[in-house]
Structure 1
Amino acid sequence: MTFLTSVSGRVLLALIVGLATGAVLQGMNLGSTGGLISIAEAVGGIWLGALQMTVIPLVLSLLVVGVAAVSDAASAGRLTSRAIMWFAGLLVVVIAASLMLYPLVNSVWPVDPASAASLYVGAAGTEAPPPPQAIDFGSWLQSLAPTNPVTAAAENAILPLVIFALFFAFAVTRLPEHQRALLVGVFDAIADAMIVIVNWVLFVAPIGVFALALTLGLRSGFGSTGAIVHYVLLISSGCILVALFAYPLASVFGKVPLARFARAIAPAQVVAFSTQSSLGTLPVMVERAVDHLDVPERVAGLVLPLAVALFRMTSPVANLGVVFFICHVSGVEPSIGQMIAGGIVAFAVSISSVGLPGQSSFFISIAPICLAMGAPVELLPLLLAVEVIPDIFRTVGNVSADLAVTTILNRSEQVVASDRG
């Protein structure tokens, strides 16, 4: 499949053509474009609404299925349990770092104000975002336990809904096996059905993205191009930092010299760069771990498939970066409580949506974080169109982190074996 016949290629082409068409029509001063804007806005709005309607049921279903999968894996043995603890611990570390660093990066390296305004106004159709609501910390804590989960879902109160879903999911794991299997099967089927809908919506994504980009071009011309380039560089840089973080992890905790680790993982990174698939890189990862990092086959054969199935270290970093970028260009300043909520949702989403295809996971993973942090979701479809570039570095970062964690767990196995000896 060539790039232009893939979903990513067609969506990116639709963004470029739509933005260029709108900008040219605006520059030609052909009279009022209000009618064309209304039509394009309506088409794009229908497509965005079709994506949004799957978010709540997918989040609930994927959390139940994801927690069940983690519970099953954790009961499989000591090495598996330690792997899951490392996965969870590293996700917490990178989420905390993201919450601290992205606001700092946005203040030191801001988007050009004119380009940011063009992107927001062109995509959202309003001159300014709604003013943020001031919520005291006590009220925020009290809101975390929803008195009515259905109402929370209807009001897009995503963090209370996620907390309810996590409690429900862990409760399901304590049920008798036949009841547990029945409920997990039902939610798995619901998630699969929602993904089918998402894939239908993504099939016509070029039409929806073209309409939204046309609206953007008609309103702001090429003024938003700088903001889009800034976004690609920001998210790609965050994923590259995750990949670089893997080297000291392997050196300090896995006791593998930096140069040796770099040489060992380079071929896997090349495959990850070219395929944009952690699963497709798995055979190379296993081979490099066993033959070049001296990881026993039993360790590599357990840890690496588990990492591909449950662990994507770039996911919360990139997803939070997207939301902070949207907040930055739209003038939204999330409170401490909203940022904590975003971090919690980013963690929950990262363990529940790892099995989704890339195009599907972008919106489903980021929209809940937007809702938690008060960021407008209207910009997401346009950012989805250029996600093909950051997605390359997402995969490279994930593969690098997977191999680093494998060296760490191999080292811990050696220590345990020597203590027993």
Structure 2
Amino acid sequence: MSPSTRILLALIAGIVAGILIAGFAPQAVDPVTSVAGPIGQAWLNGLQMTIVPLVFSLLVTGVAATAEAAQAGKLAGRAVGLYLIVMAASAIAAAFLTPLFLQLAPLPVESAAALRRALAGAETVQPVPPVGDFIAGIIPANALKASADSNFLSMIVFALVFAFALMRIDAGLRDLVTRLFSGIRDAMLVVIGWVLWIGPLGVFALALVVGAKAGGGAFHALVHYILTVSAVGLVVSLVAYPLAVIGGRVGLAHYVRAGLSTQAVAISTQSSLASLPAMLASSRAMGVPVATAGVTLPLAVAILRATGPAMNFAVAIYVATWFGVPLHAATLAAGALVAMLTSLGSVSLPGTVSFIGAISPVCATLGAPVAPLGLLVAVETMPDIVRTLGNVMWDLATTVTLARGQRVVEDEADTIVEGIEA
């Protein structure tokens, strides 16, 4: 049984157990939750302790890898540029789509209030400062203090400056520093794997408290969350089709047929990396030269998370709305930037592994609490399927678009050569 399945079953069991305790032994609610609450919080702390070193190392290694890829050739440079545009547009789309969906289908007031009460302490969040102070605080006066205080936006700005500065130093020293942060990144992922291994216990404890204090409304709220975040990812995923048709000059029916095998692999594995062989076969079926797909698809798997910025940002906006955190244009813009950057640095792993590390900085930027993520990670399986499906379809759409652009460039070069020869 996969870790995500075990965690999901623990969530269901915990909520059901909490509801039964509240219904048949209400006098036991306080004693039980007084024990379960600290256990769940300890597990959540275990996840949170990895966030700062993981995010910093992911950004350093991610920027270094992206910069190196952009310098690998003209095709690679165009691919990286297109991927960055797609990810920026993805984050911006979530800033509009998520509030819209929450207005069309809002979370019931009673369920939201019950869940806030159940997650003790989560409702206490840092107030977002005035716009002027917020902008001034983006540049950290003390990078170590910003990291210690989990001031993710300031820490991310410093990480970016540090990563770009690495590109200007001696290649040997740059490789040494990059390898150091690669080791830190991999070590943190191992720690996250350990914490997720005991995840069923932690999630069961958190869910037990929620079930005892929020009742059946907890299930309603979690289903509402899954549908809202998945809807945002689905809309972003569907935009890949017109890109392939318009940018790649591929017939819609042809693109749909060619992508079916890739989608099947993506659903079964929940991994873009595992879907790479199927994507190569699909790209060949659409007439993409192997020389082009062999460059762009591995780059897309390594860099492009088209649905990541949108869905990560959607989770943060959902939590902020859930806890009544006001969202202003400046914080939404900063949140979109952080969502894009953390997605850029994320490794190609199932969403359950990278969920906390990728979304916590976005929540912190918006002033939303991080504690609910310990509960939401348990239902990440369905949104993660949507993430992976969208990612592989965008990988294919950008590949056929870049292949057409490559053909245009080659045709223009041939025309110039023929003109010179004439």
TM-score tier, shorter chain, comes to: over 0.9
Q: Which residue identity lines up with residue 294 of structure 1 in the other structure? A: G
Q: Which residue of 1 aligns with 2:384?
A: 391
Aligned residues: 414
Contact 2:15 2:218 in 1 (8 A): no
Q: Which residue identity lines up with residue 276 of structure 1 in the other structure? A: Q
Find out whether 1:373 has 2:366 as its counterpart. Answer: yes
Identity of aligned residues (%): 42
- Give distance in 1, aligned partners of 2:375 and 2:4: 12
Distance 1:131 1:347, change over 3 A: closer
Q: Which residue of 2 aligns with 1:53?
A: 49
Contact 1:250 1:405 in 2 (8 A): yes
- Give distance in 2, aligned partners of 1:227 and 1:251: 38
Find out whether 1:250 has 2:257 as its counterpart. Answer: no
Q: How does 1:21-420 map to 2 (within 5 A)?
A: 21-122=17-118, 124-125=119-120, 129-130=123-124, 133=127, 135-290=129-284, 292-420=285-413
Contact 1:120 1:379 in 2 (8 A): no
Q: Which residue identity lines up with residue 301 of structure 2 in the other structure? A: V
Shift of 1:357: 4.2
Contact 2:21 2:28 in 1 (8 A): no
Contact 2:226 2:379 in 1 (8 A): yes
- Give distance in 2, aligned partners of 1:396 and 1:175: 39
Shift of 1:130: 3.9
- Give distance in 2, aligned partners of 1:269 and 1:129: 39
Find out whether 1:19 has 2:12 as its counterpart. Answer: no
Distance 1:131 1:75, change over 3 A: closer
Q: Report SS of the residue matched to 1:110.
A: coil
Distance 1:399 1:355, change over 3 A: closer
Q: Runs of 5+ in structure 2 lacking a partner? A: 415-422
Residues 106-149 of structure 1, C-alpha deviation per residue, up to 9 Å, x if partnerless? 12210111112222221x225x8347735332222211111101
- Give distance in 2, aligned partners of 1:165 and 1:131: 25
- Give distance in 1, aligned partners of 2:363 and 2:72: 35
- Give distance in 2, aligned partners of 1:190 and 1:134: 31
- Give distance in 2, aligned partners of 1:335 and 1:164: 24
Contact 1:243 1:401 in 2 (8 A): yes
Correspondence for 1:8 among 4, 12, 37: 4
- Give distance in 1, aligned partners of 2:325 and 2:288: 47
Shift of 1:44: 0.5
Q: Which residue identity lines up with residue 125 of structure 1 in the other structure? A: A
Q: Which residue identity lines up with residue 146 of structure 2 in the other structure? A: A
Q: Report SS of the residue matched to 2:275.
A: helix
Q: Which residue identity lines up with residue 322 of structure 1 in the other structure? A: V
Greater shift in the superposed pair: 236-245 or 366-375: 236-245
- Give distance in 1, aligned partners of 2:124 and 2:365: 15
Q: Which residue identity lines up with residue 250 of structure 2 in the other structure? A: V
Residues 14-73 of structure 1, C-alpha deviation per residue, up to 9 Å, x if partnerless? 001111001000001341421211110100011111111111111111111111111111
Q: Which residue identity lines up with residue 106 of structure 2 in the other structure? A: P
- Give distance in 1, aligned partners of 2:26 and 2:389: 47
Contact 2:124 2:369 in 1 (8 A): no
Shift of 1:303: 0.6
Contact 1:129 1:332 in 2 (8 A): no
Q: Which residue identity lines up with residue 42 of structure 1 in the other structure? A: P
Shift of 1:236: 1.6
Q: Runs of 5+ in structure 1 lacking a partner? A: none
Shift of 1:356: 4.1
Q: Report SS of the residue matched to 1:378.
A: coil
Q: Which residue identity lines up with residue 26 of structure 1 in the other structure? A: A
Distance 1:130 1:412, change over 3 A: same
- Give distance in 1, aligned partners of 2:34 and 2:69: 51
Residues 250-308 of structure 1, C-alpha deviation per residue, up to 9 Å, x if partnerless? 11111112122112112211221122121111111111111x21000001111111101
- Give distance in 1, aligned partners of 2:187 and 2:264: 34
- Give distance in 2, aligned partners of 1:329 and 1:30: 27
TM-score scaled by length of structure 2: 0.95
Q: Which residue identity lines up with residue 268 of structure 1 in the other structure? A: T
Distance 1:106 1:160, change over 3 A: same
- Give distance in 1, aligned partners of 2:103 and 2:390: 25
Q: Which residue of 1 aligns with 2:420?
A: none
Q: Which residue identity lines up with residue 399 of structure 1 in the other structure? A: V
Contact 1:312 1:354 in 2 (8 A): no
Q: Report SS of the residue matched to 1:393.
A: helix
Greater shift in the superposed pair: 110-119 or 5-14: 110-119
